């Protein structure tokens, strides 16, 4: 994930690069770069979850078409959990400005944040596999409820984990 920070840093114009030699200005530029990298990462994660949300919505249509209306509300709960996560991550304060301003973030902590965020990419992959399982269970009414509950649980866990993201900086508990 340091690639994102590097990409933002490399895209600076000459004025910002020159200004980075002025005392105090360099810290401001670095903080802005961290915010931009954070925003880019959150948008990418949200896009990955958006893909899975669309799949869950398509599964609702499939359930209706298969006459399995009893499970539509269950898959809707999973879709709502994913939508909640997407909305939270997309609308979070830009770059966690309060955190970046209030807490001095060193390179090690930034690496921990990126590692924490990497977990969201893995969570999106896990949800994709869980949705694959739901699709495979469409003709297995015995396994379908558990498959849907798994998707709902994974989506809820992602939302809860995002709520604990600030603990990477502060070490406190939410």
Summarised one tens digit per residue, pLDDT across range 30-81 is 777 777 788 888 899 999 999 999 999 999 999 999 999 999 999 999 999 9
* pLDDT value at residue 56: 97
* pLDDT value at residue 35: 76
The Cα 127–Cα 113 span in angstroms is: 22
The Cα 69–Cα 26 span in angstroms is: 58
The Cα 112–Cα 103 span in angstroms is: 14
* pLDDT value at residue 118: 87
- Inter-helix orientation angle 2-10/107-136, to 10°: 120
Q: Count Cα neighbours of 40 within 13 Å in the Cβ-side half-sphere.
A: 16
* pLDDT value at residue 97: 46
* pLDDT value at residue 116: 85
* pLDDT value at residue 32: 75
Question: Low-confidence residues of the chain, pLDDT below 70?
Answer: 1-28, 93-107, 169-174
* pLDDT value at residue 98: 46
- Give the predicted TM-score (pTM) of the model: 0.77
């Amino acid at each position: 994930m340091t690639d994102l920070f590097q990409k933002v840093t490399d895209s600076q114009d000459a004025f910002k690069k020159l200004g980075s030699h002025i005392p105090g200005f360099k810290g401001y530029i670095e903080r802005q770069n961290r915010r931009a990298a954070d925003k880019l990462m959150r948008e990418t994660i949200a896009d990955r979850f958006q893909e899975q949300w669309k799949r869950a919505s398509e599964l609702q249509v499939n359930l209706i078409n298969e006459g399995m209306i009893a499970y539509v509300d269950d898959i809707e709960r999973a879709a709502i959990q994913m939508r909640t996560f997407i909305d939270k991550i997309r609308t979070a304060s830009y770059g966690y400005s309060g955190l970046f301003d209030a807490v001095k973030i060193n390179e090690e902590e930034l690496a921990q944040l990126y590692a924490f965020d990497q977990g969201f990419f893995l969570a999106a992959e896990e949800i994709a596999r869980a949705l694959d399982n739901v699709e495979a269970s469409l003709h297995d009414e015995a396994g379908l409820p558990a498959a849907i509950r798994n998707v709902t649980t994974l989506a809820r866990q992602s939302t809860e984990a995002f709520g604990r993201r600030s603990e990477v900086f502060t070490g406190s508990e939410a």
